[in-house]
Amino acid sequence: MSNARQLLEKIQTDYRVKVKQYQQRIIICAGTGCIANGSLKIFDKLQSVLKANHINVDVKLRVKDAASLPTDQENILISRSGCQGFCQVGPLVEIQPSGFLYVKVKPEDVEEIVEKTILKGLPVERLLYVDPVTGKKSNTRADNPFYSQQTRTVLKKCGSIDAESLEEYISIDGYKAARKAYTKMQSEDIVAEIVKSGIRGRGGGGFPTGFKWKMALKEKLDKKYVICNGDEGDPGAFMDRSLFEGTPHSVIEGMMIAARAIDADEGYIYIRMEYPLAVKRIRKAVTEAEEMGILGENVFGSQNNFKINVMEGAGAFVCGEETALMASAEGNRGMPMPKPPFPSESGLFGKPSVINNVETLATIPDIILKGADAFRRVGTENSPGTKTFALTGHVANTGLIEVPFGTTLRKIIFEIGGGVVDKYGKINNNAFKAVQIGGPSGGCLTAKHLDEPLDFDNIKKNKAMIGSGGLVVMNDSTCMIKIAKYFMEFTQEESCGKCVLCREGTKQMLHLLNDISEGRATQETLETLKDLGEAICKGSLCGLGKTAPNPVLSTMEQFSDEYKAHVFDKFCPTRECSALSLPEINPELCKGCTLCARKCPVGAISGKVKEAHVIDPDKCINCGTCIEVCKFNAIA
């Protein structure tokens, strides 16, 4: 038995014993979102208030500190977790063992939390989550509809353990799967188990992970690499960032297992430099694993070595494509290369390489520890397991969620998400219009898709893709041409410029979309836009170009009437395109002062004094005078 193995077993036993000496534990969300809202100030305030109440406070449980905790007073452990997912209502504070979950906590709430909950065991009612539809309060995660309807596996550790504690990760069977892979399994056994599990890559098109590993194992070179693709560039996506911040050791463990599977001795974590907290925590995790002997030479007493390098990407979206990522990691400009050869044959520095997404790697330890059959019991036949999604947009509960493949959009949006928010900020599920899935590479799904299962193949049939897991919900006040323009602007700016179709084609598509939104388009514009989009999909070199037209082509198919209204009627039904929109008076804000009617040059506004006025669209010339003179912001 290796020293590292003995040490892990001792840490696990000692940690579990010592954590029981704390009567209560307070877990504060310390993901980027909650930190931005002041969770670290809550962390500091809790310490001072608890100490003022003569309570013994620890903020780090270290098993090497063998002394027992004092028995004549309360002992409290305060921990900072990674993202707990419910970003809409952060900062989040959970009290154990009562399980009380407090939302939108502020530093000034700390004294009441200590007085009522820590000292008396009672909940602070005003800090509990209240369902916006039913008005029901939730005391704990178990009765909170946002959490109770999820299946959190890879995210479970993320929001429940100390994000920077290697010892706590070990205490919940951390690195046990890696130890099994290095001491009890051959490379072929690991690959076979991953193939049997059916896990597909969580970062894009859903390519079978086991097949990648199998191809890399066949290569008989002395040098191979494992690469973690943490270049999360989709607008609104933050799944990878949250895993790096909340459970970095699960990513490292997944890389170790991949390395053992393909006989690699070196790995690279490629992470966005725009994620400073994630970079800090993954670097710290690598250092701690090295110091404990988990990473390095003769892993777990085997003859295998494994070293991990952390590299920060410079923010190019195209570097999410594996060949561009490898070029960047080699110190070259991040531009895609034609395939074959595939990375499993000739990858980083010309050596066989396996590239996997962060979420994919964080899922691997559970498969090795519990077996492929257990993994396949969740999800669908061709898309087993769970998937994390960043749920954002016009939905009551935004945040990071995890559900089994096969879950419907209806459940995600209306149950976990709490329903659609209309343009007035009220819950109104009838206001649902569409959801953009897969980011700039994905497509739009509408009400007719609400009950279809979300899995790789089914979504592809509907001309969209799971992608990295972004879900942007849109209500009926959203202009789909504006949405298409937003994503096309993004991909056009992020194109590396290597191939003409992507470099010039996306630019021309953006010009055509501008023509549509500004009233210059014709039937020919629509035909050219569609033909150009299809050509870019077919002829571009990498995944960025091949999928860049998807949001446009998808919205053209799903919302053809909206495109026709812009082109032929010169009118934007949602009034978001200013060039094609007539002003409207909000009757709830209009005071009936008559100023707009008196100033209108064509007499298009009518109404009685102290009553809401109306605009006649047939007379209005869209000069904007009424908007300028209204003192109550009732016209837009």
pLDDT digits (tens, 9 = 90+) for 109-124: 999 999 999 999 999 9
Q: Residue 429: name the closest of 437, 443, 441, 419 by CA.
A: 419
Residues 262, 293 share a domain: yes
d(CA 257, CA 512): 48
The HSE-up count of residue 86 (CA atoms within 13 Å, CB side) is 29
Q: Residue 429: name the closest of 133, 71, 188 by CA.
A: 133
d(CA 466, CA 448): 17
d(CA 611, CA 396): 33
The confidence score (pLDDT) of residue 235 equals 78
d(CA 47, CA 52): 9
Residue 577 falls inside a structural domain: no
Residues 76, 62 share a domain: yes
Residue matched to tokens 């919900």: 473
Residues 280, 211 share a domain: yes
**136 contacts: CB under 8 Å, gap ≥ 6:** 130
Report the number of distinct structural domains present in the chain.
5
Residues 354, 408 share a domain: no
Cα distances (angstroms) measured from residue 310 to each of 186, 195, 328, 329, 564: 27, 28, 13, 10, 50
Residues 42, 80 share a domain: yes
Helix (H) or strand (E) holding 494: helix 480-494
Residue 154 falls inside a structural domain: no
Residues 365, 230 share a domain: yes
Residues 539, 458 share a domain: no
Query: What is the domain-level CATH number for residue 509?
Result: 1.20.1440.230
The confidence score (pLDDT) of residue 65 equals 64
CB atoms within 10 A of CB 26: 27
The confidence score (pLDDT) of residue 68 equals 72
Residue 24 falls inside a structural domain: yes
pLDDT digits (tens, 9 = 90+) for 525-577: 999 999 999 999 999 888 888 889 999 999 999 999 999 999 998 889 998 88
Residues 490, 471 share a domain: no
The pTM for the full model equals: 0.90
Cα distances (angstroms) measured from residue 29 to each of 15, 83, 107, 177, 238: 22, 6, 14, 27, 15
Helix, strand, coil shares of the chain, percent, nearest 5, are 45, 15, 40
Query: What is the domain-level CATH number for residue 619?
Result: 3.30.70.20
Q: Residue 302: name the closest of 203, 180, 418, 388 by CA.
A: 180
Residue 8 falls inside a structural domain: yes
The confidence score (pLDDT) of residue 1 equals 42
Which residues in the chain land under pLDDT 70? Answer: 1-2, 65-67
Residue 559 falls inside a structural domain: yes
The confidence score (pLDDT) of residue 438 equals 85
**130 contacts: CB under 8 Å, gap ≥ 6:** 136, 137, 138
Residue 303 falls inside a structural domain: yes
Residues 12, 109 share a domain: yes
**517 contacts: CB under 8 Å, gap ≥ 6:** 479, 481, 482, 485, 566, 572, 577, 579, 580
Q: Point out the domain boundary residue: 126, 142, 158.
A: 142
Q: Point out the domain boundary residue: 349, 376, 403.
A: 376
Look at the alpha carbons of 262, 267, 273, 274 in this order and tell me if their dihedral is positive or negative: positive
**For residue 539, what are the domain limits?**
481-568
Query: What is the domain-level CATH number for residue 21?
Result: 3.40.30.10
**495 contacts: CB under 8 Å, gap ≥ 6:** 318, 502, 503, 506, 544, 545, 548
Residue 432 falls inside a structural domain: yes
Residues 362, 289 share a domain: yes
The confidence score (pLDDT) of residue 234 equals 79
Q: Point out the domain boundary residue: 478, 509, 533.
A: 478
Residue 194 falls inside a structural domain: yes
DSSP 377: T
The confidence score (pLDDT) of residue 557 equals 93
Residues 114, 63 share a domain: yes
Residues 201, 73 share a domain: no
The HSE-up count of residue 349 (CA atoms within 13 Å, CB side) is 12
Query: What is the domain-level CATH number for residue 422?
Result: 3.10.20.600
Look at the alpha carbons of 140, 146, 150, 154 in this order and tell me if their dihedral is positive or negative: negative
